[in-house]
């Protein structure tokens, strides 16, 4: 459960970073935000797979 919250927090942080990048026209920051979201989503998918086998 704790991992799920951490991964959700990472996803939200990525969304925030992407939004700040868009607002400041910083393409690198925007891309980093999208990458952070992707990593968090992959981790969440891994959690779902682990839960399916429990």
* Structural domains counted in the chain: 1
For 13-49, the pLDDT digits (tens) are 999 999 999 999 999 999 999 999 999 999 999 988 9
Tokens of 14: 């990525």
> In the structure, what pLDDT confidence band is assigned to residue 52 with cuts at 50, 70 and 90?
confident
pTM of the model: 0.85
- pLDDT category at 4 given cuts 50, 70, 90 is confident
Say yes or no to pLDDT of 51 above 80: yes
Domain carrying residue 6: 2-52
| 18-38 as b/e: b if 16+ CB within 10 A | beebeeeeeeebbeebeebbe
């Amino acid at each position: 459960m704790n991992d799920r919250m951490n991964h959700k927090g990472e996803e939200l942080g990525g969304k925030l970073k992407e939004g700040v990048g868009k607002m400041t026209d910083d393409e690198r920051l925007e891309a980093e935000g999208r990458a952070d979201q992707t990593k968090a989503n992959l981790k969440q998918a891994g959690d779902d797979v682990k839960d399916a086998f429990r």
